[in-house]
Chains A and B, each alone.
Chain A
């Protein structure tokens, strides 16, 4: 079988990068395998677990269900783009401080989902947080410390705003 790569520009975490990859590749695969952004994880590659969530034009998307060729000209955000230099995003800091990351495997997907939530709703209720992350499975935490971390991050972001 002859396979020809596609060649496109992808804007990831504010940087435009050229990427060349087989056209059937998902955004997840291109991020991890072609761009070296292994912070985005996978737990099923079937859209069931939420571990691969990234932001596409600010909206959480399951990168295992998105073809990378569809992402030309769109803004993609991954966990690698959250911290500003060495300074953690308030969500990252709160997740680390409050035990919201245990094994850390579902964490990038949940961080991205929570980031999109806080950008839309700076002070979400706990029920809204539960709803927002209900597509992200976590096997370690029982979710409680994740809610607390999102709430704490929202507080810290409001204080510093």
Chain B
């Protein structure tokens, strides 16, 4: 291969290093106005009255919008379209927007916001999932099974109690993973304007222009064909721009009402309120094992703190369990999950979407199991690593699976055998593994259309243009698109112009989420490029009087495979094709294979392929201060095939960084204001200074290894790399701390105070552990019972259809 696998400067690299990349807030249009949102200072209240008359009269103010201007709800998931662009009768968290001011500049907007008077009637605030379970009234939303429960679900694949009963050991552990946020450095911005004859264009830092397009049409009650969404390059995504956002809806409405361009850029504080980040999850794992460390069954229960709205929560809830069986051989699996509403900014998808939490629990528990059984944790995992070309207990189809090789690589490179349980007191190593999906097998709204489409244009200038709805969020999707097309056509990646993320110009791609872009856009791109190549080959082959398949495309030439001296420039071949066929173009599209599971709930978890990762973290723990230093991390990732090693390595190291950040310090947490100040539940530190994230001084050296186990469902065999490598980092760190000082910290983040507390307990002879003590009673429903593939099922449920979920109108 000429392009795939070779280190290259990314196709959008020049723009990024010269400051020319146009992010949303860099867009300035003639006659543009500015907008700001008034947000609720109370976590839960009824809105009794809003008076905007003084704001409207301020010089420079053009328009004030409130909830009455937005009768229609929206939401990313069809089952929870529970958000209003501006709240009209109820606010549900500090930061819920209630009004918008559009004025000549931001300063005037800010002044006008102060003139809006909102009369609130405070309601009881629900701060935690436990409170949500205990509070039936008031309900934060009028939908969901009951009380303040948003989602409840239960699935059982084989009789897990029987499996646990006949196991040599059963381990029961409770873990907690704190919520945290994406913290992309770019603050979300959007510019809306009218295009010709009343059509709307919205430029926005969105990861998912297609879903935003649909929701805009819904909220604005306009035909989608009159709306164009342009996803500007995102200044970091990480899942934070997957949901359609209030400000996008409101700025669009304002531009339509005023006939002028309107821009909004959120402040950093607002970005913390928009959130949609990692769900805080409490988990209980009951795991049966044999003496030699084989898993017999897992009963996993999860409880999610969803925040104030549905967001992606229906999917997030599934993801706290459904990928658990994809890493190790697991004969039986029971999974119960519950998502609650609380009066906090809504949680949603963040890098790894729902799976880092159970991955943390499972990998720490495996470490405890290995310890108890006297097994080396790496050896034990090698023995139980999932096999390629297999089905899991919950009917997910595994293709290529390079996990065993990943484990061998990190064991070898880290000097694991010389270090594990052998380093001096205070130093330690920990190992963990993971698997992740390469794109969701099903779209967010049910349909049979492609998940990704690519269109190619070529003309006599020799220029090839690739159009796709995929969104460049920094991960390098534009570069992947160019590389796929270039490889097939035998030209350089830099010879392909890419135009992406524009619903007015590019074929639909569902968006940059669930690690789906390389696989889905890549397959569509190859199909389109092969179609174009066939035409060019047919025309060029006439020149040499050979069959088209005797031609080769490489190095910008089209030539006889048997005699490279007989050939022509790629541009000349295009001329011949344009003369023979007329204007040249081609399309390709991709839809994932139908999943084998057919039970209700089988839609979450299937993927065209799964990536695998293994990680070793080394730590030094200061016993006096509890301070945790990480000198080095080794990580091996089964990527299927590397497309551009420069970018792929960047995704791995970036994932390690984010995993380590969640493990050591990041937390989106809340506190109650003192009663004299309203007692409101507020974000503890909605600022970049106090929300601690690692700086360059905190980041260890990372040694990255790629295991290339090409997957037949993937373009050139390439699997995902943007999310999976985050998953093993937090548990590997926790396991390393145990190796270093013999204490278990069963909750994230692992901060020095928790280490000290555990060390004190150890010194007193108590269980040297800090973590949640118990798992509350959750009213899980009767499970949907599905026999695993090896117990004679056909992928259908044999009992239970799951809870009915009422959908809001």
Contacts and interface: CB of A to CB of B under 8 A. Distances in A.
Interface string B1-44: 00000000110111111111111011010000000000000000
A142 B23 contact: no
B754 interface: no
Interface residues of A, number: 58
A137 interface: yes
B236 A141 contact: no
Nearest to A127: B697
Given A105-B235, A139-B658, A40 B475 contact: no
B547 interface: no
B734 to A, nearest CB: 20
A92 B23 CA distance: 19
B687 A43 contact: no
A103 B234 contact: yes
Interface string B447-481: 00000000000000000000000000111100000
B559 interface: no
A45 to B, nearest CB: 7
Contact of B696 (A43, A130, A139): A130
Contact of A96 (B16, B22, B655): B16
B185 interface: yes
Given A40-B19, A78-B19, A92-B17, A134 B186 contact: no
Nearest to B661: A139
B13 A143 contact: no
A103 B233 contact: yes
Contacts of A139: 182-185, 236, 238, 654, 657-658, 693
Contact of A43 (B16, B19, B187, B237): B187
Nearest to B15: A104
B687 A102 contact: no
Interface in B204-251: 233-238
Interface string A105-119: 111100100000000
Nearest to A89: B17
A101 interface: yes
Contacts of A96: 9-10, 13-14, 16-17
Given A44-B268, A102-B650, A140-B650, A107 B17 contact: yes
B699 interface: yes
Q: Which interface residue of B20, B233, B267 has the most chain A CB atoms within 10 A?
A: B20
Interface string A58-82: 0000000000000000000011101
B185 A105 contact: yes
Contacts of B187: 42-44
A104 B16 contact: yes
Contacts of B12: 104
A57 interface: no
B654 A83 contact: no
A105 B23 contact: yes
Q: Which interface residue of A40, A104, A135 has the most chain B CB atoms within 10 A?
A: A104
B565 interface: no
A131 B699 CA distance: 12
A143 B268 CA distance: 22
A157 to B, nearest CB: 15
B19 A108 contact: yes
B656 A41 contact: no
Contacts of B656: 142
Given A139-B183, A141-B650, A142-B656, A103 B235 contact: yes
Contacts of B19: 37-40, 78-80, 107-108
A46 B689 contact: yes
B646 interface: yes
A103 B473 contact: yes
B186 A48 contact: no
Contacts of B657: 139, 141-143
A107 B701 contact: no
Contacts of B185: 41, 43, 49, 51, 103, 105-106, 137-139
B275 interface: no
Given A42-B187, A43-B186, A96-B9, A143 B647 contact: no
A60 to B, nearest CB: 14
B184 A48 contact: no
Contacts of A22: 107
Nearest to A104: B16
Given A38-B26, A130-B696, A140-B236, A102 B701 contact: no
Contacts of A140: 236, 474, 650, 654
Given A48-B687, A92-B17, A142-B656, A134 B235 contact: no
A133 B15 CA distance: 21
Contacts of A103: 16, 184-186, 233-237, 473-474
Contacts of A133: 696
A20 interface: no
A6 interface: no
Contacts of B23: 41, 105
A139 to B, nearest CB: 5
B650 A82 contact: no
A130 B698 CA distance: 9
Interface in B354-412: none
Contact of A104 (B21, B237, B646, B649): B21
Nearest to B237: A103
A144 B702 contact: yes
Contacts of A137: 185, 688, 693, 695
A39 B186 contact: no
Contacts of A142: 650, 653-658, 699, 702
A145 interface: yes
B5 to A, nearest CB: 15
Interface in B544-577: none
A150 B541 CA distance: 49
B653 A144 contact: yes
B133 to A, nearest CB: 34
Contacts of B236: 103, 105, 139-140
B654 A43 contact: no
Contact of A145 (B183, B268, B649, B688): B649
Nearest to A112: B19
Nearest to B653: A142
A93 to B, nearest CB: 8
Contacts of B650: 99, 102, 140-142, 145
A105 B186 CA distance: 7
Interface string B611-649: 000000000000000000000000000000000001101
A82 B18 contact: yes
Q: Which interface residue of A78, A80, A141 has the most chain B CB atoms within 10 A?
A: A141
Contacts of A106: 185, 235
A89 B376 CA distance: 51
Given A48-B689, A103-B233, A134 B696 contact: yes
Contacts of A98: 646
Contacts of B702: 142, 144
Instruction: Kindly list the 5 A-B residue pairs having the minimum CB-CB distance in the complex, ordered from nearest.
Output: A39-B19, A103-B474, A104-B16, A105-B235, A142-B657
Interface of B: 9-10, 12-23, 25-26, 28, 107, 111, 182-187, 233-238, 267-268, 473-476, 646-647, 649-650, 653-658, 687-689, 693, 695-697, 699, 701-702
Given A48-B687, A48-B688, A137-B185, 20 more contacts: A33-B28, A38-B22, A42-B25, A43-B186, A43-B187, A45-B267, A45-B268, A93-B17, A95-B17, A96-B16, A99-B646, A103-B474, A104-B17, A104-B233, A131-B696, A139-B183, A139-B238, A139-B658, A143-B696, A145-B653
Interface of A: 1, 22, 32-33, 36-46, 48-49, 51, 78-80, 82-83, 88, 92-93, 95-99, 101-108, 111, 129-131, 133-147
29 contacts: A33-B28, A38-B19, A42-B25, A43-B187, A48-B687, A82-B18, A97-B646, A98-B646, A99-B10, A99-B646, A101-B13, A102-B650, A103-B234, A103-B235, A104-B15, A104-B17, A104-B235, A105-B23, A105-B186, A105-B235, A106-B185, A107-B16, A131-B696, A133-B696, A140-B650, A141-B654, A144-B653, A145-B649, A145-B653
